Amino acid sequence: MVFPIWVYGFSSLYSGDMIYNEWLYQIYNMAFTAFPIAYYSVFDWQKTKPELMSHPDLYEIGLKNTDFSHFVFWESYLVALIQSSLLTYITFWTFDSTAGYTI
């Protein structure tokens, strides 16, 4: 959500105009930050609590940092940059008055 706003700032000459409605920010915060955490905290039970307490080797993935590395971080960053660039380009192309469509 940040990169399209950054690009829109250049095109609007930093006028302070919002690219998204204010309610969209709140829906985004609820849908992508609050709801997934609540869902996984309630419904994600792969192992029972006694099993987790009796097998500390199950925590090695987090301790050795095998699932999250610098490569995974930069890969996610690059994918987000590409997706937001495409979203911004498609939005500007769709609403461009020179695209051959008249309102």
Cα separation, 85 vs 21, whole angstroms: 20
Confidence check: pLDDT of 33 > 90: no
Tokens 């997934």, residue located: 36
Sign of the CA dihedral with 19 first, then 25, 31, and 33 last = positive
Task: Please write the tens of the pLDDT for every residue from 63-101.
Answer: 887 788 888 889 999 998 898 888 888 877 877 666 555
**pLDDT confidence of residue 75:** 94
Instruction: Give percent of the chain with pLDDT exceeding 90.
Output: 7
> For the whole model, what pTM was predicted?
0.53
